[in-house]
């Protein structure tokens, strides 16, 4: 399997025994091993999107989950992100949606946007 943690895209070899992960090789960092185990037991993803923003240089504020969310909750979280709206100014890492869908993960701003006059 391919590790998706970073663009290195390490090719992992996972040895399974009775449905349990026995060994992971091919990873160049410890995150590869964590990923392989999780992907086979409880797959999660980081989610990025945009939230509507008023009074900023662009109409969309890039946002990111503060941690992994279960893969099957991606579209539930997207619904909340689409419904949200904020006003400039926003600072990077500001919490935009607290505890999204009760997952214990926040939606946070992934850049700062100043207030602009136009």
Partner 1 sequence: MREVDVVVIGGGSAGLAAACKCKEEGIENVVVLERDKELGGILNQCIHNGFGLHTFNEELSGPAYAERFIDKAKALNVECKLNTMVTHISKDKVVEYVNPEEGYVRVQAKAIVLAMGCRERTRGAISIPGYRPVGVYNAGTAQRYLNMDGYLVGKRVFILGSGDIGLIMARRMTLEGAKVLGVAEIMPYSNGLARNMKQCLEDFDIPLYLSHTITNIEGKERVSGVTISEVDSNRNVVPGTEKHFDVDTLLLSVGLIPENSLTEEAEIEMNPVTKGAMVNESYETSIPGIFACGNVLHVHDLVDFVSAEGAKAGESAARYIREELKSAGGFNCKAKQNVSYVMPTRINVENVKDKVEFLFRVRVQARNATLNLYKDGELFRSIPKRHVAPAEMEKLIMKKSDLEGIKESFEIELVVD
Pick the closer one to partner 1 by CB: 18 or 63: 63
Which residue, 73, 83, 77, 86, is CA-closest to 106?
77
Residue 26 interacts with partner 1 (CB under 8 A): yes or no: yes
Residue 27 interacts with partner 1 (CB under 8 A): yes or no: no
Residue 60 interacts with partner 1 (CB under 8 A): yes or no: yes
Largest CA distance in the chain: 63
Residue 58 interacts with partner 1 (CB under 8 A): yes or no: yes
Least distance to partner 1 from the beta carbon of 18, Å? 25
* Interface residue with partner 1, options 38, 54, 98, 111 (CB under 8 A): 111
Backbone angles phi, psi at 92, to 5 degrees: -55, 140
- From start to end of the chain, where are the E strands? 13-17, 20-25, 44-45, 48-54, 60-65, 69-70, 85-87, 95-97, 107-109
Q: Name the one residue in this structure whose structure tokens are 């990025």.
A: 48
The shares of helix, strand and coil residues in the chain, as percent rounded to the nearest 5, are 25, 35, 40
Residue 12 interacts with partner 1 (CB under 8 A): yes or no: no
Of 64-93, binders to partner 1 (CB under 8 A) are: 64, 71, 74-75, 78, 82, 92
**Residues in contact with partner 1 by the rule CB under 8 A:** 1-9, 11, 26, 45-50, 52, 57-60, 62, 64, 71, 74-75, 78, 82, 92, 110-112
């Amino acid at each position: 399997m391919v590790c998706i943690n970073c663009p290195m895209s390490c090719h992992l070899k996972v040895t399974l025994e009775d449905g349990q992960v026995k060994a992971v090789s091919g990873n160049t960092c410890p995150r590869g091993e964590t990923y392989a185990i999780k992907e086979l037991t409880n797959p999660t993803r980081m989610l990025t999107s945009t939230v509507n923003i008023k009074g900023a240089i662009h109409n969309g504020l890039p946002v990111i989950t503060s941690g992994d969310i279960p893969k099957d909750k991606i579209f539930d979280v997207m619904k909340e992100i689409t419904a949200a709206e904020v006003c400039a100014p926003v600072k990077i890492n500001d919490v935009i949606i607290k505890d999204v869908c009760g997952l214990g993960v926040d939606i946070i701003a992934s850049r700062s946007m100043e207030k602009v006059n136009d």
